[in-house]
Amino acid sequence: MADTAGTAPSVVDITPADMPLYCPNPAMALWSSHPRVFLDVGETGEAMCPYCGTRYRLRGGPTRHGS
């Protein structure tokens, strides 16, 4: 997961190793915490936190099944 340096970036790139995805992520500063929310990036490859607006993008795009 990309380092956020204490502020919410416009987009955080994530990898499958970062799953399950949740916000606030471990790199965020404690003062900016909000209730943990799990985010689904499998369908579109992107998700936005409803609390802080941080956007997460799955490297490689959405999960494809049955190709």
pLDDT tens-digit readout, 3-62: 445 555 579 999 999 999 999 988 888 887 899 999 999 889 999 999 999 999 999 877
Burial 10-39 (b: 16+ CB within 10 A, else e): eebebeeebeebebbbeebeeeeeeeeeeb
Report pTM: 0.74
Place of tokens 């799990």: 38
**Whether 8 contacts 53, CB under 8 Å:** yes
**Number of residues in the chain:** 67
pLDDT at 62: 75
pLDDT at 4: 47
Q: How large is the C-alpha radius of gyration of the chain?
A: 12
